[in-house]
Amino acid sequence: MMLSGCAGKASSTNKTHFSPNYPYKTNNFRHYDWVRVTSPTSNQVIQITNHQSVNYVSDIIGNVGDSSDLKLGSHHKSQTVIYHYTFYQAKPKYKIDINIFRDSEYIEMTHVPGFKSLEYRLPTKTHKILMDPTRLATGQGLG
């Protein structure tokens, strides 16, 4: 199986947008790739447009195909989702959803082209980065 990283370009601005109660729009695609992070425990929404951070999330998606820790389907339904990432790819237009679990290094991805649902075990460092989306949005700690 082969998944690719981001084909489009992320915005080169280093803007991070925080807005409570951000309404979900049916057409969230832009002319650049971006990531939206929500938490089920709060109304906070973080929009990540920082090029380095968007590429980091894109590379996680793209590297899944090379992993031996990949499972088809969803096996962690009883786990508590701490963050929900939505990756919007501009070209071609794809929306991929990623659930980050509180007590597990596995993530669940849905809407991956060709698959209904995938689970993937993240490296510990990557999981820690995704557990802090505010810091990820600024590009801190990605080096």
For the cut 80, the answer to whether the pLDDT of residue 126 exceeds it is yes
Instruction: Report the predicted TM-score, pTM, of the whole model to 2 decimal places.
Output: 0.74
Asked if residue 54 is part of any domain, the answer here is yes
Asked if residue 3 is part of any domain, the answer here is no
Asked if residue 78 is part of any domain, the answer here is yes
Q: Note the pLDDT tens digit of each residue in 23-63.
A: 334 456 578 899 999 988 777 789 999 999 999 999 988 87
Tokens 């992993």 found at:
67
Residues of the domain holding 127: 16-138
Asked if residue 4 is part of any domain, the answer here is no
Asked if residue 108 is part of any domain, the answer here is yes
How many structural domains does the chain have? 1
**CA 39/CA 84 separation, integer angstroms:** 6
Asked if residue 5 is part of any domain, the answer here is no
Q: Note the pLDDT tens digit of each residue in 101-118.
A: 988 888 898 888 777 788
Band of pLDDT at residue 3, cut at 50, 70 and 90: very low
Tokens 């060709």 found at:
114
Q: What is the CATH number of the domain that holds 42?
A: 3.30.1490.410
